[in-house]
Chain A
Amino acid sequence: NAGVMQNPRHLVRRRGQEARLRCSPMKGHSHVYWYRQLPEEGLKFMVYLQKENIIDESGMPKERFSAEFPKEGPSILRIQQVVRGDSAAYFCASSPPWDHAGTEAFFGQGTRLTVV
């Protein structure tokens, strides 16, 4: 059973370009969470999705950021018109349908976005 798969592991974008980060949850997991880790800081919650639904996006910046988890395929975190301040590590976590307390969540290895 493969773990949570994120790709790419490293992504370099120029200011103004778009960044697409992908997350494939563990088999049987229907909950996906995205977190952002700025340099020298802890992880901050961004968004929680179930298949085809955004459940909680209270941590998402109001502009340029969007997330989806389609019926088929991976979850996508999309950042439009990136700026230097978007440079961070973005982590995805997944958990099974019965887990509403985060006690069964597994994390991917992250995507490190660098904006130049």
Chain B
Amino acid sequence: GDSVTQMEGPVTLSEEAFLTINCTYTATGYPSLFWYVQYPGEGLQLLLKATKADDKGSNKGFEATYRKETTSFHLEKGSVQVSDSAVYFCALSDNGSSNTGKLIFGQGTTLQVKP
């Protein structure tokens, strides 16, 4: 079945460092891809999304490009802030015949940014 694999954390960076969190997926159809962020004790917030190959999602300085050839959707940010400390989840939804809109999540990557 469909699955999402993220790089293991925690990832610890200094403020203003460059961030990459790797995400690869396996899907039989043509999924939409998402990054969600979860701050401590909170629910999930959609960070960005891409619905087809070569699309780039972006928000709040974060970017990710839907790469069909490498089945990847890596999250990047040029200069992280302490306030970016959170858990980041990569996810996909199957746009194929099931059409249920359910999401399949990776295991999450904890980012800790130090001043």
Question: Do A and B assemble together?
Answer: yes
A69 close to chain B: CB less than 8 A? no
Segment among A12-20, A42-50, A60-68, A72-80 that sits at the interface with chain B: A42-50
B93 close to chain A: CB less than 8 A? yes
Does the CB pair B43–A95 fall under 8 Å? no
B83 close to chain A: CB less than 8 A? no
Q: In the complex where A102-B102, A103-B51, A110-B43 touch, is A42 in contact with B108 (Cβ < 8 A)?
A: yes
A52 close to chain B: CB less than 8 A? no
Chain B: residues with Cβ within 8 Å of the partner, total of 25
DSSP class of A's interface residues: helix, strand, loop or mixed?
strand
A25 close to chain B: CB less than 8 A? no
Does the CB pair B101–A107 fall under 8 Å? no
Q: In the complex where A42-B107, A102-B32 touch, is A48 in contact with B100 (Cβ < 8 A)?
A: yes
Chain A: residues with Cβ within 8 Å of the partner, total of 27
Cβ-defined partner of B101 (8 Å) among A31, A109, A110: A31
Does the CB pair B105–A42 fall under 8 Å? yes
Interface residues of B in 66-99 (CB under 8 A from A): 89, 93-95, 98-99
Does the CB pair B99–A45 fall under 8 Å? no
Does the CB pair B89–A43 fall under 8 Å? yes
Does the CB pair B102–A109 fall under 8 Å? no
B7 close to chain A: CB less than 8 A? no
Within the complex, what minimum Cβ distance (angstroms) separates B41 from chain A?
A: 9
Q: Chain A contacts of B36 at CB under 8 A?
A: 107
Q: Chain A contacts of B49 at CB under 8 A?
A: 103
* Bound CA–CA A42/B42 (angstroms): 14
Does the CB pair B93–A109 fall under 8 Å? no
A105 close to chain B: CB less than 8 A? yes
Please list the residues of chain A having a beta carbon within 8 angstroms of any beta carbon in chain B. 6, 31, 33, 35, 41-45, 48, 55-56, 59, 91, 93, 95, 99-103, 105-110
Other than A35-B105, A56-B98, A109-B43, give 7 A-B pairs with Cβ distance below 8 A.
A41-B108, A93-B103, A100-B99, A101-B32, A103-B32, A105-B46, A109-B42
